Amino acid sequence: MNALKADGRKLPPYKELREQYAQISEEKDRLYQEYRKLQQKVKQHENVRANLEQLIRPEQKEKRRNRSRQEDRYK
């Protein structure tokens, strides 16, 4: 506002400022709700990934054991 005054321009009417503020506030609320939903989805995906890793890791360990056993047989 001080920049507007310094340039010699008039401030917008109070009613116009209130309307702009209301629009911006509504958009902020909408975007925040969308952000929260996306945040929940990310958390769900992270849980799924962690569960899959727990399931896969024991299989990978077993495969490594089998490989090392087979290598030991051929030595």
pLDDT of residue 56: 81
Q: Is 9 a domain residue?
A: no
Residue 24 forms part of a structural domain:
yes
Domain that holds residue 45: 14-74
- The predicted pLDDT at position 59 comes to 67
pLDDT score of 42? 97
The tens place of each residue's pLDDT in the chain, 75 residues long, gives 677 667 677 777 899 999 999 999 999 999 999 999 999 999 999 999 999 888 888 766 666 677 766 666 655
Give the chain's domain count.
Answer: 1
4 assigned to some structural domain: no
Residue 3 within a domain: no
Asked whether residue 66 is assigned to any structural domain, the reply reads yes
C-alpha torsion sign, points 35, 40, 45, 50: positive
Task: Kindly report the pTM of this predicted structure.
Answer: 0.56
Structure tokens, 11: 């401030």
8 in any annotated domain = no
Q: Is 1:11 a contact under the CB 8 Å cutoff?
A: yes
In a domain, 46, yes or no: yes
Q: Is residue 2 part of a domain?
A: no
